[in-house]
Every structure is written in structure tokens, then in C-alpha cells.
């Protein structure tokens, strides 16, 4: 998606005034890409913060995600309309299927077709998927075509590089969005990343984000602190050397942090 800012503001686990303040501060600092989801329970607060910012709608890129309970053909579009009402918008920029249907109780084709219909109705400018395996991606492509899948949002950070899925998505021209790009702060405690940060006179968080950005991913870190929000946004200016990138490539240990009991069988 050419118009999706490469650095977005994630809102997972942020509620009430905390998320309002995070989004408000982020927008003040220059963030224009905001990522939320039905299950986060914060769409209304995110919508309020965006509304009160006074920033024109066409200057913002807003993503939400359909929860597993609303994947049925008759439930998906009404659930997205409910999200739009909470967000105070007629249309979001991107709507994702948050997780494949647990135990594949609902076929991928059913909810991808409904999601495409939501796009055709003008409820969302683009559609995509999140937490999909290669098998789920294959089914999604068969249902709506790779051209209609704007991004695959998956957990990617130095300790979980997810290369198989990345390679498959890229072979079909599907863009990648990395969530949890800082591995819940674990990147701050890694000696290799710390060494690279020291050489560049920057922070471990900025190094981890720069690594993702240089691989071509969109990143959506979250923070509640103005200094961290500002630093994350500046990561795009940091250029890592080939040696830096090669060192971080060795850190992959398949350390998955988002792995609920209803998760699919990962590749």
C-alpha cells in the first residue's frame, strides 16, 4: 500500500485515557497511521482522539481488525459498521481479518469474500489479513486474489523473523506489516542490538525499528511516553550497515510472543 505510512502507532493493550493520550501525543508528534482493532476495546477512544486532533480525515491512515466472533458472512459487515461508528468515520483505510477462524470453524473464503464486499460497499479502502499462515494465505488468495490483500500483519522482530511466511507473502506481492517490532521491549536487553545502537549513538528500539524498515516492512510500535513515541518516529532516519543487518539476522530464535490458545499451527 503506497499510501500507508511506514511507521504507525499501535494501540494494543491501551485503554481509556491512556490510549486517548497516546494517540493525541502521537498525532501531535506527526504520526498519521493509527492501528486499532475490535478486540482492543478502544476504537471509540481512538476515534475521539483523532476527532479532537482536528487533523483532516484524508491526512490519516486508520486500520482496524475484525475479531474472530464476527467472521461469519452475516456478522462481518455489521461489525465493521459498528467499528466505523465508534471511530466516527464513514470509511477506514484498511480492514484486516485479525486472526483466522479458530480451528478453521469458518472457511477462509467465507470471511474474505465478506471483507471484499465491505470494500466494494466503500466501508474500507483496502483489506488484508493478520496472523495468517501460508495455508491461510493460499486460501485467501484463492478467494479474493492477491491484488486485494493489501498487507499481511504478523509478529516480526529480531527474535522472530518469520522468514517462511515473509517469503511466501512477498512472492505474491503482499506487503508486510510487523507488529510487536520491539518484542515487548526485549530488544532493549539484547547485547548485539545494544552494540549496534552504541555504534550509531542511538537506542536499541530505534535499531530494531530501523532493521524492520530496511527490510521493507511497515512497523506499528506502541508507547505511552512522548519521548519514546518521538524516538520511534525518528527510526526511519537511521541507516544500518550491511554488517549491522547481518548481525541482527542471526538473532532469530523463533521466539513468538503472541500465541493464544486459538492460534493456528504456525509455519
- Give residue-wise pLDDT tens across range 67-86: 999 999 999 999 999 999 99
Residue 241, domain member (yes or no): no
Mean pLDDT of 127-148: 98
pLDDT tens for each residue of 169-220 = 999 999 999 999 999 999 999 999 999 999 999 999 999 999 999 999 999 9
Question: Which one, of 156, 183, 181, 179, lies nearest residue 167 by Cα?
Answer: 156
Total domains in the chain come to 1
Instruction: Flag whether 54 is in a domain.
Output: yes
Cα(222)–Cα(209) distance, integer angstroms = 12
CA distance 110 to 227: 43
Residue 211 within a domain: no
Residue 2 is assigned to a structural domain of this protein: no
CA gap 146, 238 in Å, rounded? 32
**In a domain? residue 192:** no
The helix (H) or strand (E) run that includes residue 171 is: helix 163-171
> How high is the mean pLDDT of the chain?
97
Domain extent at residue 161: 9-182+217-222
Tens digit of each residue's pLDDT (9 = 90 or more) over 17-56: 999 999 999 999 999 999 999 999 999 999 999 999 999 9
Residue 266 lies in a domain: no
∠ Cα 227 187 100 (to 5°): 100
132 lies in some domain: yes
CATH number for position 166 = 3.20.20.100
Buried b (16+ CB within 10 A) or exposed e, 42-54: bbbbbbbbbeeee
Torsion of CA 86, 40, 25, 198, to 10 degrees: -160
Please give the pLDDT value at position 1.
Answer: 67
Catalytic positions, written as ranges: 40
Residue 165 lies in a domain: yes
Amino acid at each position: 500500500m503506497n499510501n500507508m505510512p511506514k511507521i504507525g502507532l499501535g494501540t494494543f493493550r491501551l485503554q481509556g485515557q491512556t490510549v486517548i493520550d497516546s494517540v493525541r501525543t502521537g498525532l501531535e508528534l506527526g504520526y498519521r497511521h493509527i492501528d486499532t482493532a475490535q478486540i482492543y476495546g478502544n476504537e471509540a477512544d481512538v476515534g475521539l482522539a483523532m476527532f479532537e486532533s482536528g487533523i483532516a480525515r484524508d491526512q490519516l491512515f486508520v486500520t482496524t481488525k475484525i475479531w474472530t466472533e464476527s467472521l461469519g458472512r452475516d456478522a462481518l459487515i455489521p461489525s465493521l459498521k459498528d467499528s466505523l461508528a465508534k471511530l466516527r468515520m464513514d470509511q477506514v483505510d484498511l480492514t484486516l481479518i485479525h486472526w483466522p477462524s479458530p480451528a478453521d470453524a469458518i472457511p477462509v473464503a467465507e470471511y474474505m469474500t465478506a471483507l471484499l464486499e465491505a470494500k466494494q460497499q466503500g466501508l474500507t479502502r483496502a483489506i488484508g489479513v493478520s496472523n495468517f499462515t501460508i495455508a491461510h494465505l493460499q486460501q485467501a488468495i484463492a478467494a479474493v486474489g492477491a491484488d486485494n490483500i493489501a498487507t499481511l500483519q504478523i509478529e516480526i522482530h529480531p527474535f522472530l523473523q518469520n522468514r517462511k511466511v515473509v517469503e511466501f507473502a512477498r512472492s505474491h506481492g503482499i506487503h508486510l506489516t510487523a507488529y510487536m517490532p520491539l518484542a515487548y521491549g526485549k530488544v532493549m536487553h539484547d547485547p548485539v542490538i545494544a552494540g549496534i545502537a552504541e555504534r550509531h549513538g542511538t537506542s536499541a528500539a530505534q535499531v530494531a525499528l530501523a532493521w524492520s524498515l530496511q527490510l521493507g516492512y511497515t512497523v506499528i510500535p506502541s508507547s505511552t511516553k512522548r519521548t519514546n513515541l518521538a524516538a520511534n518516529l525518528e527510526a526511519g532516519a537511521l541507516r544500518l550497515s550491511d554488517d549491522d543487518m547481518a548481525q541482527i539476522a542471526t538473532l532469530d530464535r523463533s521466539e513468538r510472543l503472541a500465541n493464544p490458545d486459538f492460534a493456528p499451527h504456525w509455519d
